[in-house]
Amino acid sequence: MQNTESTLKLRLWTVEEYHRMAEAGIFGADERVELLEGKIIWMIAKGTAHRSAVNRTDRLLQNSLRNRAFICVQDPVKLNERSEPEPDIAVVKVDPLDYADHHPTPKEVYLIIEVADSSLKLDCETKAKAYSQAGIIDYWVLDVVSRQLRVFREPTQDGYQSEVTLEENATISPLEFPDLSITVLEMLPPIIRLLA
């Protein structure tokens, strides 16, 4: 009897090949893709709550950290030779060349924040594993639907050993900036109450 199941071997891409594809125009100007674990994945469309949370978090971190760190919004971070995601927020070391010659790498990353409206599973599972394997010590997922913050710390090759969920009234400090106290609510989009 013939086996109808087969294991497909995927051809995984490197960051260098991914860049060459982009330079060659293989991706359309309006295509939003990123490289994760050698696979080119479509980036999920962002709703208004997502955009609002990214903008609020960016402004909060810019005002709080000033010249202590760079705040990158939806810019690439090179995790390894097969992963170059574009997190919603990356708090990275100040670089004298403003990263003109390379994208930030894990040793230059203080904190990564992904904002989830429809991407919670991807952010908490696939991306969390990739960030953990790369050694990102502080990874947050801001869930704008449940209005919670999931905090991932203690990275290993098997995933984060610590995952804590904080409600909107809780406060947190980034590991690298313990003097900075952030209330989850400050990052979330405001609730708009419609008049009846």
DSSP 58-102: HHHHHHHHGGGSEEEES-----BTTBB---SEEEE---TTTTSSS
pLDDT in tens, 113-159: 999 988 899 999 999 999 999 999 999 999 999 999 999 999 999 99
pLDDT tens per residue, range 3-31: 555 677 888 888 888 878 888 888 877 77
HSE of 170, CA atoms in CB hemisphere, 13 A: 12
H or E element that contains 134: helix 128-134
Q: How confident is the model at residue 43 (pLDDT cuts 50, 70, 90)?
A: confident
pLDDT reported for residue 3:
58
Helix (H, G, I), strand (E, B) or coil at 34: strand
Residue 96 pLDDT: 84
pLDDT, residue 138, reads: 98
